[in-house]
Structure 1
Amino acid sequence: MDGTPVQIILLSLSESAITFYLFPHFFFSGTLSTYFLFFSFLNWSGVIFHKLIIYPYFRSPFRHLPKPPHGFWPIIGHGLIMFKRPPGAAHLKMMKETPNDGLIHFRGLFHADRLMPTTPAALADILVHKSYDWEKPSWVRTFLRQFLGDGLLISEGDEHRHQRKNIMPAFSFRHIKDLCPVFWSKSIELCEVVKADIWDKPEKVVEINHFSTQVTMDIIGLAGLGRDIGSLRNSDDELIKSYEEILEPTNEKGVYFVFHMLFPWWFMKALPWKLNERVKITSDSLKKICRDFVQEKRARMKMESEEHVDILSTMIRSNNFSDDGIVDQLLTFLAAGHETTSSALTWATHLLSINPSIQTRLRNEIHTAIPSPKALLDPNFDIASLLESLPYLNAVCNETLRIYPTIPVTSRVALRDTSINGQFVPKGTITFIVPIATNRLPQLWGDDAEEFKPERWIDAESGRATNNGGADSNYSFLTFLHGPRSCIGEKFARAEMRALIAAFCGSFEMEMANPNEIVKGGGTLTFKPLHGMKLKLKPMEWGT
């Protein structure tokens, strides 16, 4: 027995009316209201029994699939994994402990079916072969829309195809190569600002996550808006404050995110929760800033004859977006465009700090290839080709992105009946794609899958960088996903990250401020260190 609440109410009304008026002697005596309550109780009991027992154990097409051996509780199913920290750790444990042929079946709240793909073939079906059979769950899009508008990350179907097609030219290989001097100049500026910050500090300790956010925001400002936001030189920048408030990982924000999954949007907005007010203030501030950017850019483009190559100029010239549509895209690019690399840079400095031999090898490669960082500021210098040619630099970047993907867990819901790896999947089924688990899965990466080993990205014979890290399939690496919903800014982020890590590792010797600290990751939208990243830095003379 199944049905919506309205259907159950109508059925109960019909049953009670028929019984009361046509068959009053076959049941207990009572009023029409009493009959309604009686049949409501029976029908809802039937629905609950069907939902908890009959369907999941006798009718579900997934009842024969492998299930995790631990973590199931009646009614809540395996739902507690949503509260486990760090994000994705419980999913990785499930993948390791559950022998499977590509799909693991587990149960959500009220024993609802949940799937998790584990093999390249299963992932390919969801991400590429049948990508438009799937979309982000509605509650996820509603939650993200508060901060990102209706940009590329939120749109689905034909609207997504339209947006991606018209934005893609801004992320072409040639365009990104032209932006590499911006990446390098801002990377050098980051090093200068950090040196100034630790100049008079005896302990030489910095919280690097804040600087990472500032420099990547400056980069996306120049590359995306054609405007130097200058947040590195202005620690009170409103844009930085807004995004740090949204993205800073806290327990309260974690609960806020999970509650949006459990309760409808209107209910969450009605709660007297101070965080609701802060979210509205912050998101309104971001939208106003982006709207001002668009109006200012339009005015400048009318006055200037020079053709700018930033993303905003490209979208305005295309005439394919309204001002509100451009604002939505800017909200997406400012958030995703700075946060991906900001998190990656922060995690890279941590990994290099706790692996001094890797740090030294990387610095030696950088200093050998780049005798002077100032030389790369020459506008005629091909920075992109130089940084791409450094195998160990690229290996460190790839391994950091593998171990610490910015989005550790994402989900998709089936828009229609479909299949994964030959398994029938009915409409409405939710599937979890877990980059942080897939990226660390021993079956795909070997027994050392959870170790930081940049060497896996270098061919042992030729000494050149590889694209697969030794894994058999590119679906073993999910940091940027794959297919039509893959990260449109992947090449941008990689080029930016190469410049930032090369400049920073070349300029500083790093170690953890507290060598005994166990850094924990968390966050709601992105994967960041829970308590920041404090490093002890020693400035290095370039080339020594």
Structure 2
Amino acid sequence: MVLPYRLISAISLGASYFLSLPNAPILPISGFVTTFTTLWALQFLLWALWSVVLYPKVFSPHIGLPEPEGNAFFIGQYKEIIRNPTGTPMLKWINSIPNNGLIRYLGLFNQERLLITSPEALSEVLVTKSYHFQKPGHVRYTLGRILGVGVLLAEGDEHKSQRRKLLPAFAFRHIKDLYPLFWRKAQEGVEAMTEQILTDAAKGRKKEISAETEEATTGIRPDTAVIEAGGWASRITLDIIGITGLGRDFGAIKDPNNELNQTYQHLFKPTKQARILNLLSMFFVPGWLINMLPVQRNGDIQSAANFIRATCADLIEEKKQKLARKELVDVDILSLMTFLAAGHETTASSMTWAIYLLAKHRHVQDRLRAEVRERLPSIAGGDGSSTVSSMDIDHMPFLNAVCNEVLRYFSPVPLTLRQAVCDTSIQGHFVAKGTSITLVPWAINKSESMWGPDALQFNPDRWMLKGEGDKHAASGGAKSNFAFMTFLHGPRSCIGQSFAKAEFACLLAAWIGRFSFELDNKEMADEKKLEIKGGVTARPARGLHVRATVIDGW
């Protein structure tokens, strides 16, 4: 429930004016300001009583739907939600609470939400009635400060128009031409990573030698060092989106202190202030007021947004000038449109989780490396002579199986919200206007009812053909296409799905072909102890530090 502050303020102003007139009834309170404050506070208390207690516990039309047990009186399941990684409680509920597509749960101050759990219900929300359910206002406002109201946040006819104009840029015939660019940047990244690993390994060896004798260090690998995989993934994917989406090499691979990379890293860092401001926006504080609060987070967002928009404006102007001079020959997405707002954090998150899972499952890593080295040219040299095509990457069954399974097991965006903008229904159940809808890829992607008893296991073989005529590999053996929610479905599905999957496959092949990975902190192998930070994307809270070994011969 959102506080109708405009209505409350209008009623309070009007009532205070009339009650302040000379012939108004005598009240225990006097004075315009005192009357206004008293009336506003009284209405707020009545609204709070209705929103927090009466509606969710007595009058909601959704009472009677399956719910998790253990609701706290005022905060519902909030403790369970806040102390676990995003989407984890919903995964438990989906696999333990019998339901027909809808689970009702209460959050902070008993905010009511409907969790969508079945293919049929997902189809209604995402396809047949997709424009009945829009992103909540606070989500659009918060992200809009940074991204603008592009195809990600636009609604209704505006969204239809933007998506229609953008679709040609993401057609397969265009994406397949980008594979060599993906590979070239992956190659550049691998060479830079190799240099750092060998340098750090040499420094570590010198320290060991200075502390002990030469003989005592014969077992030290000269080609192994600890790296933070997520940081490298972010830098490489930023350069990829720069060269393919905007026609400029940002140079983040070469410069770890690249200003644009640092801006994105800082912007999407889930600080305590960011969480508090997000909570305020979810309830009754209007966005314009939150923006005016004199806190550091607001200043950081404004500075970052200004820098990113200025960078994009410069790039667009460069493109216009090249077009005017008929010099535009770049193979990049912006060549086909006026403007593109594209991110890199989702693919960077996928790469991070891929390295985590492959470091944890070494037999899968070894099997993938064997396929990469057998089917792809050596990446050595860094001179651009090594290249691949879409045919090379798309016809590597185990590489694509691993990529699909990583995207299933750890969806980069774990949860997304919708809100009913009109009275509607889901699976025949009435859904009132304003009802919050929760779509949780982290839960749907591991639903045992859709994926079977091994839904919670990392198993790339579910995507491999079992024999001639096998029709299950394309869906991973799931019972419905809606079991795989990483890119959503329908008119609001990820427009860059093909781009992201191609980029991910090229990067992963390059990394695994050159390096062997193992977890630096062995305790991280236990996923129950793995601390995950939420935000736009999900990643290990303290980064992913792995021992990377350079493997010769490729």
TM range, smaller chain: 0.7 to 0.9
Q: In the TM superposition, what is the alpha-carbon distance from 1:501 to its structure 2 partner?
A: 0.7
- TM-score, length of structure 1 as denominator length: 0.87
Amino acid at match of 1:88: G
In structure 2, distance between residues paired with 1:229 and 1:502: 23
* Between 207-216 and 48-57, the greater mean CA deviation after superposition: 48-57
Amino acid at match of 2:225: K
Could you list the per-position Cα deviations for residues 303-362 of structure 1 after superposition, in whole angstroms to 9, with x for gaps in the alignment? Answer: 23454442222113xxxxxxxxx3xx43xx1x2xx1111111111011101111010111
In structure 2, distance between residues paired with 1:343 and 1:30: 61
Q: Which residue of 1 aligns with 2:325?
A: 303
2:390 matched to 1:390? no
Q: In the TM superposition, what is the alpha-carbon distance from 1:459 to its structure 2 partner?
A: 2.4
Between the two proteins, what is the percent identity of the paired residues? 37
Q: In the TM superposition, what is the alpha-carbon distance from 1:139 to its structure 2 partner?
A: 0.6
Q: Which residue of 1 aligns with 2:505?
A: 498
Q: Which residue of 1 aligns with 2:210?
A: none
Does the residue aligned with 1:411 lie in a helix, a strand or coil? strand
* Between 194-203 and 493-502, the greater mean CA deviation after superposition: 194-203
Q: In the TM superposition, what is the alpha-carbon distance from 1:406 to its structure 2 partner?
A: 1.3
2:257 matched to 1:257? no
In structure 2, distance between residues paired with 1:158 and 1:87: 31
Of residues 267, 287, 293, the one that matches 1:271 is 293
Amino acid at match of 1:481: L
Q: Which residue of 2 aligns with 1:468?
A: 475
In structure 2, distance between residues paired with 1:481 and 1:423: 22
In structure 1, distance between residues paired with 2:18 and 2:59: 27
Q: Which residue of 2 aligns with 1:5?
A: 8
2:529 matched to 1:526? no
Q: In the TM superposition, what is the alpha-carbon distance from 1:11 to its structure 2 partner?
A: 9.9
Amino acid at match of 1:417: D
Could you list the per-position Cα deviations for residues 146-167 of structure 1 after superposition, in whole angstroms to 9, with x for gaps in the alignment? Answer: 2111211111111111111001
2:80 matched to 1:85? no
Q: Which residue of 1 aligns with 2:225?
A: 204
In structure 1, distance between residues paired with 2:354 and 2:90: 23
Q: Is the 8 A contact 2:187 2:382 kept in 1?
A: no
Q: In the TM superposition, what is the alpha-carbon distance from 1:438 to its structure 2 partner?
A: 1.0
Amino acid at match of 1:5: I
Does the residue aligned with 1:220 lie in a helix, a strand or coil? helix
* Between 524-533 and 491-500, the greater mean CA deviation after superposition: 524-533
Does the residue aligned with 1:432 lie in a helix, a strand or coil? strand
Q: In the TM superposition, what is the alpha-carbon distance from 1:142 to its structure 2 partner?
A: 0.8
Q: Which residue of 2 aligns with 1:321?
A: none
Q: Which residue of 2 aligns with 1:443?
A: 449
Amino acid at match of 2:266: E
Q: Is the 8 A contact 2:533 2:541 kept in 1?
A: yes
Q: In the TM superposition, what is the alpha-carbon distance from 1:505 to its structure 2 partner?
A: 0.4
Q: In the TM superposition, what is the alpha-carbon distance from 1:69 to its structure 2 partner?
A: 1.0
Cα distance 1:539–1:462, how it changes in 2: closer, same or farther (>3 A)?
Answer: farther
Q: In the TM superposition, what is the alpha-carbon distance from 1:377 to its structure 2 partner?
A: 9.0
Of residues 396, 416, 422, the one that matches 2:422 is 416
In structure 2, distance between residues paired with 1:179 and 1:135: 32
Q: In the TM superposition, what is the alpha-carbon distance from 1:252 to its structure 2 partner?
A: 4.5
2:56 matched to 1:66? no
Could you list the per-position Cα deviations for residues 237-267 of structure 1 after superposition, in whole angstroms to 9, with x for gaps in the alignment? Answer: 2111111111234444444433432432233
Q: In the TM superposition, what is the alpha-carbon distance from 1:447 to its structure 2 partner?
A: 2.5
Q: In the TM superposition, what is the alpha-carbon distance from 1:42 to its structure 2 partner?
A: 7.9
In structure 2, distance between residues paired with 1:401 and 1:217: 19
In structure 1, distance between residues paired with 2:157 and 2:149: 13
Q: Which residue of 2 aligns with 1:194?
A: 193
Cα distance 1:463–1:233, how it changes in 2: closer, same or farther (>3 A)?
Answer: farther
Cα distance 1:81–1:293, how it changes in 2: closer, same or farther (>3 A)?
Answer: farther
Q: Is the 8 A contact 2:184 2:384 kept in 1?
A: no
Q: Which residue of 2 aligns with 1:320?
A: none
Q: Is the 8 A contact 1:393 1:502 kept in 2?
A: yes
Of residues 334, 347, 356, the one that matches 1:350 is 356
In structure 2, distance between residues paired with 1:16 and 1:416: 37
Of residues 530, 537, 542, the one that matches 2:548 is 537
Q: Which residue of 1 aligns with 2:244?
A: 223
Q: Is the 8 A contact 1:441 1:449 kept in 2?
A: yes
Q: In the TM superposition, what is the alpha-carbon distance from 1:302 to its structure 2 partner?
A: 1.8
Q: Is the 8 A contact 1:84 1:90 kept in 2?
A: no
Q: Is the 8 A contact 2:13 2:36 kept in 1?
A: no
Q: Which residue of 1 aligns with 2:129?
A: 130
2:496 matched to 1:489? yes
Could you list the per-position Cα deviations for residues 282-310 of structure 1 after superposition, in whole angstroms to 9, with x for gaps in the alignment? Answer: 11111111111111111122223454442
Cα distance 1:50–1:269, how it changes in 2: closer, same or farther (>3 A)?
Answer: closer
Could you list the per-position Cα deviations for residues 198-232 of structure 1 after superposition, in whole angstroms to 9, with x for gaps in the alignment? Answer: 11223511111111111111111111012222221
Q: Which residue of 1 aligns with 2:209?
A: none
Q: Is the 8 A contact 1:226 1:308 kept in 2?
A: yes
In structure 2, distance between residues paired with 1:60 and 1:361: 53
Consecutive unaligned residues of structure 2, counting only runs of 5 or more, are 202-223
In structure 2, distance between residues paired with 1:45 and 1:280: 34
Q: Is the 8 A contact 1:510 1:538 kept in 2?
A: yes
In structure 1, distance between residues paired with 2:179 and 2:382: 10
Does the residue aligned with 2:335 lie in a helix, a strand or coil? helix
Q: In the TM superposition, what is the alpha-carbon distance from 1:84 to its structure 2 partner?
A: 3.3
Q: In the TM superposition, what is the alpha-carbon distance from 1:414 to its structure 2 partner?
A: 0.8
Does the residue aligned with 2:425 lie in a helix, a strand or coil? strand
Q: Is the 8 A contact 1:184 1:377 kept in 2?
A: no
Amino acid at match of 1:76: I
Q: In the TM superposition, what is the alpha-carbon distance from 1:370 to its structure 2 partner?
A: 2.0
Q: Is the 8 A contact 1:68 1:97 kept in 2?
A: no
Q: Is the 8 A contact 1:254 1:523 kept in 2?
A: no
Q: In the TM superposition, what is the alpha-carbon distance from 1:276 to its structure 2 partner?
A: 1.6
Does the residue aligned with 2:232 lie in a helix, a strand or coil? helix
In structure 1, distance between residues paired with 2:189 and 2:36: 70
Does the residue aligned with 2:546 lie in a helix, a strand or coil? strand
Cα distance 1:340–1:515, how it changes in 2: closer, same or farther (>3 A)?
Answer: same
Does the residue aligned with 1:290 lie in a helix, a strand or coil? helix
Cα distance 1:179–1:36, how it changes in 2: closer, same or farther (>3 A)?
Answer: closer
Does the residue aligned with 1:168 lie in a helix, a strand or coil? helix
Amino acid at match of 1:293: L
Q: Which residue of 2 aligns with 1:283?
A: 305
Amino acid at match of 2:486: T
Q: In the TM superposition, what is the alpha-carbon distance from 1:104 to its structure 2 partner?
A: 0.6
Aligned length: 519
Does the residue aligned with 1:480 lie in a helix, a strand or coil? coil
Could you list the per-position Cα deviations for residues 416-435 of structure 1 after superposition, in whole angstroms to 9, with x for gaps in the alignment? Answer: 11111111111111101111
